[in-house]
Amino acid sequence: MIDCIIYRLLYYTLTKIEQADRIKLEDLLSTKLNPEIGTRLMRSLAQHWQQEGKELGVLEGLQVGEAKGIQIGEAKGKAEERVEIAKEMLSQGCNISLISSVTGLDEAFISSLE
């Protein structure tokens, strides 16, 4: 019963403390704890930390993907806006050279909009 309580207490502690303190506590446990309990605890903790690492990796991946998606969406929106401006300028009778200068679009592309 005492071993179970110690195990749960140590497991909780090791999953909630900072990395530097984890290392110190692991060293302490490996030298002072019953080897059987220490081995079981370390195996459980390793699995917990692996899962924690995976979750952090997924979260970072989602954040990077979201940021890239936003950048792509903004770039696409700006490109579409430049095309709309070019079309409007064409309808107003502006010359292609001026439209290209204002929008940054290629003159050949602007000609294809006519």
Amino acid found at 25: L
Domains of the chain: total: 1
Q: Are 38 and 29 in contact (CB under 8 A)?
A: yes
Q: Where is average pLDDT lowest: 44-48, 50-54, 59-63, 86-90?
A: 44-48
pLDDT averaged over every residue in the chain = 83
In three state form, how does the secondary structure of the chain look?
A: CHHHHHHHHHHHHHHHCCHHHHHHHHHHHHHHCCHHHHHHHHHHHHHHHHHHHHHHHHHHHHHHHHHHHHHHHHHHHHHHHHHHHHHHHHHCCCCHHHHHHHHCCCHHHHHHHC
Reply yes or no on whether the pLDDT at 10 is more than 80: no
Reply yes or no on whether the pLDDT at 56 is more than 70: yes
pLDDT at 97: 95
Which pLDDT tens digit goes with each residue over 12-35? 666 677 777 777 777 776 677 677
State the residue for tokens 């969406």.
73
